[in-house]
Amino acid sequence: MQPVFSVRDVVYSYANTATPALDHVSLTIHAGQRVAIMGANGSGKSTLLRILDGLYFPQSGHVDAFGHTLDEHHLLDESFAHTFRRRVAFVFQNPDIQLFNPTVFDEVAFGPLQMRWDKETIINRVNATLDQLEISHLRDRAPHRLSGGEKKRVAIASVLVLDPEVILLDEPTAALDPRSQSRVVDFLVEWGNGKKTVIVATHDLDTLSEIADDAYIFQNGKIVAHDTPQALLANQQLLRDANLIHEHVHHHDGQVHAHPHIHFGHHHHDTQ
Amino acid sequence: MAGEAHHGKKRGTFVQRTIDGLAETMERSLYAEQLSEQAGVIQRLDPRVKFIGTLSIIMVAAAARNLTVIGAVAVVAIGLAALSHIPLKSFVNVWIGMAIFSGLIATPAIFITPGPTLVAIPVLEWVITSTGLRSAAFLLLRSEVSITLSFLLIMTTPWMHVLKSMRSIGIPALVVVILGMTYRYIFMMLQTARDMFEARQSRIVGRLDDADARRLATATVGVLLSKSMQLSNDVYLAMQSRGYRGDVYTLDTFQLGGRDIIAIIIISVIVVTGFVFGSGILG
């Protein structure tokens, strides 16, 4: 079966930085997979997502999308770009970046307009997507006046309207209140019934097992581990080395003590 | 956000006063949006009807050679404001500002326009002519009527609808989209500027001397410029990600209803009547 993405030995450096953001990274993602890209801030996970979306292009290495080379040259071809943008969607970490239209309706209609769908199809698809994300009541509101959770749902709606095959999400639950986080996680669990590909960059270990069935851990631009979420979460030394958990001092059962701070499941310790 | 703007006595540095001023601008914008959502007569109309209607009536006032016609248009504008739940006190600052601005321009006309002498000012030997006074009155009244109608449009129509209405008179989509995005992101940058200033203010003890205040202002501008560059780059990537390739497409979702047709008829009657009486065709 042809992979959705094939990344081979990719190196990417930002201007004026000594260390590369991605350092000889290779991975393969197949259709229907739910993949988590984990790592501390600055580990390279957001850069990888931007490369997978054809927004950044590596200085060396090779990226294939749906069996075709994904590079600047191929994206200049209108037919290829049109098809690729239709099949791959990206939800940015900061929804304010993604919400640049005057109203929520216009925001969700932006993608279909670029695809030159006819007016009736656009209106029907936008309305259906607003219903799906339960944000129809926001349709005439200005996106910058919405709450963080509402903005995130509008950002997701703005890419789902194209019915993509792959969705890339950069820290989808960051800076959201618990209810909004739960809505996003529910969406990720339910979306596509296992037929769609979901790639999530996150350092939220709490929801990892729910949203992914395959996970990579990045550190300093390199892949340091690749396994199932359950196997990675069981390896506390690995998580500590990747700065995903840390020693945490707190009061508990009348004592002050320290232990690894980890946000999945329940922790137990001896109080004697 | 906007509702947190400082009220009361203004003090502090030039930068702080500027930031407070910007915050008040944001607050006024929010107030205008709230008014535009009220169930008034004008708020219920299609934005294109309001936009083109306002332009047409402003043209009537600008072309009229009869002060009564211009005064009648002013009365219509004030009546519409009342029917649209726009408090008249919100017009006062606009009227005063326009009176000062156009007054400065109109004042010389009172003295230099040739015509029958109305009053002679002793010592200076200046004369106020009736023609000059009439010219100044025309300028002042036309300006006030135009600003009243424009303000009424802004207060009864979300700014984004005003922008979209511009498409109906043939303004290119690219221009409208750029204006819309500017409006969208200027608030974000204003908020960032305020946050930066307040974060610095919380770590400053006492009062900065002028040189330090200038350095602080320059540094703030530099960081804001850098942030705005980063923001524009990220927004462009987000647009590209959703298929943007340099061409702008917009979806016109406005629909004319029965009350819009009635409004078009009423505006047409006002415009035709205004032109007929204002141009002096009837003598």
Rounded average pLDDT over A79-104? 91
> Which pLDDT score, from 0 to 100, does residue B15 have?
61
Put simply, the answer to whether B241 touches A94 (Cβ < 8 Å) is no
Measured between beta carbons, the chain B residues lying within 8 angstroms of A119 are 251
pLDDT band at A55 (very low <50, low <70, confident <90, very high): very high
Give bridge partners of residue A216 from the DSSP assignment.
Answer: A37, A226
Chain B CB within 8 Å of residue A249 CB: no
Please check the confidence at residue A211 and state whether its pLDDT lies above 60.
yes
Instruction: Give how far Cα B140 sits from Cα of A120, B105, B136, B147, Å.
Output: 49, 9, 6, 11
Give the residue with greater pLDDT, B165 vs A226.
Answer: A226
Q: What is the pLDDT of residue A264?
A: 53
3 state SS for chain A? CCCCEEEEEEEECCCCCCCCCEEEEEEEECCCCEEEEECCCCCCHHHHHHHHCCCCCCCEEEEEECCEECCHHHHCCHHHHHHHHHHEEEECCCHHHHCCCCCHHHHHHHHHHHCCCCHHHHHHHHHHHHHHCCCHHHCCCCHHHCCHHHHHHHHHHHHHCCCCCEEEEECCCCCCCHHHHHHHHHHHHHHHHHCCEEEEEECCHHHHHHHCCEEEEEECCEEEEEECHHHHHCCHHHHHHCCCCEEEEEEECCEEEEEEECCCCCCCCCCC
- Beta strands A255-261 and A246-252, pairing class: antiparallel
* Amino acid at residue number A177: D
- How far apart (Å, rounded) are the C-alpha atoms in residues A256 and B134? 86
- Tally the C-alpha atoms within 13 A of residue A155's C-alpha that lie toward its C-beta: 31
Q: Between A82, A98, A100, which is nearest B243 by CB?
A: A82
Touching check for B255 and chain A: CB below 8 Å?
Answer: no
Q: Can you give the pLDDT at residue B12?
A: 61
Q: What is the pLDDT of residue A248?
A: 64
Q: State the residue for tokens 């511009």.
A: B166
Which chain A residue's Cα is nearest to B186?
A144
B91-94: long-range contacts at Cβ-Cβ below 8 A with a sequence spacing of 24 or more? B91/B148, B91/B151, B94/B147, B94/B148, B94/B151
**Contact of B68 with B122, CB cutoff 8 Å:** no
Query: What one-letter code names the amino acid at A251?
Result: H
Nearest to A126 by CA among A98, A180, A163, A99: A163
Interface check for B254 against chain A (CB to CB < 8 A): the answer is no
Output the pLDDT for position A105. Answer: 93
pLDDT tens-digit readout, B126-154: 888 888 888 899 999 999 999 999 999 98
What residue ranges in chain B does DSSP mark as E strands?
117-121, 126-129
To the nearest whole angstrom, how far is the Cα of B58 from the nearest Cα of chain A? 27
Partner-chain contact B238 A119, CB within 8 Å: no
SS3 (DSSP) at B9:
coil
Task: Please tell me which residue of chain B has the smallest CA distance to A122.
Answer: B251
* Mean pLDDT, rounded, for A156-172: 94
Contact A109, B251 (CB under 8 A): yes
At A114-126, the pLDDT tens digits run: 999 999 999 999 9
Q: Under a CB-based contact definition with an 8 Å cutoff, are residues A196 and A163 in contact? A: no
B180 touches chain A (CB under 8 A): yes
Segment A252-264 mean pLDDT: 62
CA torsion, ordered A17, A23, A24, A28, to nearest 10 deg? -120
Residue B235 has pLDDT above 80, yes or no: yes
Residue B18 banded pLDDT, cuts 50, 70, 90: low
Say whether pLDDT at B111 is over 80. yes
Strand partners, A197: A166
Token pair belonging to B156: 């009864």
pLDDT at position A124, please?
A: 96
Q: What's the pLDDT at B2?
A: 37
Report CB contact under 8 Å: A114, B238.
no
CA-nearest residue to B232 within chain A is A97
Higher pLDDT, A24 or A210: A24
Cα–chain-centroid distance for residue A145? 24
Is the CB of A121 inside 8 Å of chain B's CB atoms?
Answer: no
Can you tell me the distance from the alpha carbon of B53 to that of B50, in angstroms, rounded to the nearest whole number?
5
For a pLDDT cut of 70, what percent of chain B falls above it? 90
Cβ contacts of B276 within 8 Å, gap of 6 or more = B282
Q: Residue B255: its chain A contacts at CB < 8 A?
A: none
Residues 226-245 of B with CB under 8 A from A: 231, 234-235, 237-245
B121 DSSP β-pair partners:
B126
- The 10s digit of each residue's pLDDT in B150-199 is 999 988 888 778 887 887 788 887 888 788 778 778 877 877 887 887 78
What mean pLDDT comes out for the span A190-207? 87
- Assess whether pLDDT exceeds 60 at residue A72: yes
Query: Which residues on chain B are in Cβ contact (under 8 Å) with A55?
Result: 237, 240-241
Residue A190 C-beta-side C-alpha neighbours within 13 Å: 8
Pairwise CB contact (< 8 Å): A144 & B235: no
Contact between residue A245 and residue A38 where contact means Cβ atoms under 8 Å apart: no
pLDDT for A158 beyond 70:
yes
Residue B282's pLDDT is 59
Res. A159: pLDDT tops 90 = yes
- A 163-192: CB under 8 A from B: none
pLDDT at B6 (0 to 100): 44
Whole-number Å distance between alpha carbons of B142 and B135: 11
> Which residues of B are less than 8 Å from A89 in CB distance?
241-242
* Local confidence band at A65 (pLDDT 50, 70, 90 cut-offs): very high
Residues of A in contact with B181 (CB under 8 A): 100
Pull the structure tokens for residue A119.
Answer: 């007016």
Taking CA atoms, A187 is separated from A88, A147, A172, A183, in Å, by 17, 18, 11, 6
User: With DSSP H G I counted as helix, E B as strand and the rest as coil, what are the percentages for chain B, rounded to 5?
Assistant: 70, 5, 25
CA distances from B48 to B5, B37, B45 (A): 33, 16, 8
pLDDT at B4: 40
Residues of B within 8 A of A70 (CB-CB) are: none
* pLDDT tens by residue, A95-147: 988 898 878 998 999 999 999 999 999 999 999 999 999 999 999 888 888 99
Kindly state whether B164 is in contact with chain A, defined as any CB-CB distance less than 8 angstroms. yes
| Mean pLDDT, rounded, for A74-94 | 94
A233 touches chain B (CB under 8 A): no
- Considering only CA atoms, which of A153, A163, A102 is closest in space to residue B253? A102
Q: What is the pLDDT of residue B7?
A: 45
Give the alpha-carbon dihedral of A109, A114, A117, A119, to 10 degrees.
50
Higher-scoring residue by pLDDT: B158, A198: A198
Buried-exposed string B134-173: b where 16+ CB fall within 10 A, e elsewhere: bbbebbbbbbbbbbbbebbbbbbbbbbbbbbbbbeeeeee
- Supply the Cα-derived Rg of chain A in whole angstroms: 20
Task: Calculate mean pLDDT across residues A2-31.
Answer: 93
What is the residue-averaged pLDDT of chain A? Answer: 88
Residue from A52, A78, A91, A110 whose CB has the most chain B CBs within 10 Å, to mutate? A110
The per-residue pLDDT for B216 is 78
